[in-house]
């Protein structure tokens, strides 16, 4: 039986580019002659029947906007089989037979459960963390990295004026990818990530030596999965004798207009998800690997863990002397 009607929702931590992905899903669905619905507030909206029909104009003038017009939520009830069954039933009652879920690893778990209940589901990787396997990048990651790089550029000026060290705590939940990419791009002297061991004494000794040789600032990026920036800064100050200031970037990394990279990634993935559904595919996580669009079984993706890019980390060690 061919697909006639799909819905789209955004779930988990929001990310810049989610609106571009929603726009692509809606416009591609309409292009293929499907009815398309937007679910408000993630899986909670499924349970509350907070579902409205979308048209071309519903997604006008949003590609440049951060956040998500469908809003997002974390929904405890959806962890239960009863909640999942209720969500599937509500979709069926509206004659909706396909669903695109834009979110992170947790949202993919929910999407997989709906697929098992007969809803033809596609996942799109939407999170700034870039911690989803079977895709090189997630929607929002590029924008979050650009925000951190811009912040470090600003910090470098004032740290140089005062000949201080700056510890910058960045997001990523348990992933070090934002710290790694932003650290390399901003020329940080040290990058601390949960995936790799590090030696604060050696870092402090190198800082002291660099300052003695005339270096006038030091930038240390700390992924939140390593620990609190304040704690790391206190240890480094004690070990190096160099004054440290701490900046916790927090949710600033989750807002603002998406970069063109994220807008294009989101547009490609949103359209790809609809094309796969129209082709009769379901239960897949969409992604991009070496520039190619791929669809991988959700069953496989939810059980996998994204590998950390050690070669890029080793590059950062070679360049940040």
The residues that are catalytic are 129
Of positions 104, 110, 126, 183, contacts ligand F6P by CB under 6 A: 104
Q: Which residue stretch of 42-50, 124-132, 161-169, 183-191 sits at the interface with ligand F6P (rule: CB under 6 A)?
A: 124-132
Minimum distance between the CB of residue 105 and ligand F6P, rounded to whole angstroms? Answer: 9
Alpha carbon distance, N-terminus to C-terminus of the chain? 61
Give 36's strand partners.
Answer: 6
The site map against ligand F6P for 226-265 (x = CB under 6 A) is: ----------------------------x-----------
Calculate ∠ Cα 249-253-254, nearest 5°.
135
Rounded distance between C-alpha atoms, residue 152 and residue 264, angstroms: 26
Q: Which of residues 189 and 195 has its CB atom nearest to ligand ADP in the complex?
A: 195
CB 283 within 8 A of CB 298: yes
Looking at beta carbons only, is 37 or 78 nearer to ligand ADP? Answer: 78
- 268, interface contact from ligand ADP, ligand F6P, none, CB < 5-8 Å by kind: none
Instruction: Using alpha carbons, list the distances in angstroms from residue 28 to 60, 70, 252, 278, 321.
Output: 14, 17, 31, 10, 48
Q: Residue 120: beta bridge partners?
A: 98
Please give the distance of CA 181 from its chain centroid, rounded to a whole number.
13
Name the one range near ligand F6P by CB under 6 A: 1-9, 94-102, 169-177, 299-307. 169-177
Instruction: Choose the contact partner of 45 out of ligand ADP, ligand F6P, none; CB within 5 to 8 A by kind.
Output: none
| Cross-strand partners of 38 | 8, 52
Q: Contact positions toward ligand F6P, by CB under 6 A? A: 13, 104, 127-129, 171-173, 224, 254
């Amino acid at each position: 039986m061919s697909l006639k009607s799909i819905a789209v929702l955004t779930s988990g931590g929001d990310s810049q580019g989610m609106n571009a992905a929603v726009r692509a899903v809606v416009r591609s669905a309409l292009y293929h002659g499907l009815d398309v619905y937007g679910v408000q507030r993630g899986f909670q909206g499924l349970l509350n029947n907070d579902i409205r029909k979308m048209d071309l104009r519903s997604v006008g003038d949003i590609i440049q906007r951060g956040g998500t017009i469908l809003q997002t939520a974390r929904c405890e009830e959806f962890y239960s089989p009863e909640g999942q069954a209720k969500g599937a039933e509500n979709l069926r009652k509206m004659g909706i037979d396909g669903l695109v879920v834009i979110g992170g690893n947790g949202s993919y778990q929910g999407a997989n459960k709906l697929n098992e209940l007969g809803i033809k589901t596609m996942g799109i990787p939407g999170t700034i963390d870039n911690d989803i396997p079977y895709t090189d990048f997630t929607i929002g990651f590029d924008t979050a990295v650009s925000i951190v790089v811009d912040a470090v550029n600003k910090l470098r000026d004032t740290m140089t004026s005062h000949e201080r060290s700056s510890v910058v705590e960045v997001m990523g939940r348990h992933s070090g990818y934002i710290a790694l990419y932003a650290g390399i791009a901003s020329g940080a002297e040290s990058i601390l990530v949960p995936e790799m061991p590090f030696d604060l004494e050696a870092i402090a000794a190198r800082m002291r030596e660099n300052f003695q040789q005339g270096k006038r600032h030091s930038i240390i990026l700390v992924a939140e999965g390593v620990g609190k920036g304040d704690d790391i800064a206190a240890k480094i100050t004690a070990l190096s004798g160099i004054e440290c200031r701490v900046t916790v970037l927090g949710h600033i990394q989750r807002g603002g207009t998406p970069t063109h990279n994220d807008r294009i990634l989101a547009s490609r993935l949103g359209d790809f998800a609809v094309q796969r559904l129209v082709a009769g595919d379901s239960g897949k996580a969409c992604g991009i690997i070496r520039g190619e669009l791929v669809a991988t079984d959700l069953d496989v993706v939810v059980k996998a863990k994204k590998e950390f890019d050690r070669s890029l980390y080793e590059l950062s060690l070679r360049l940040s002397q």
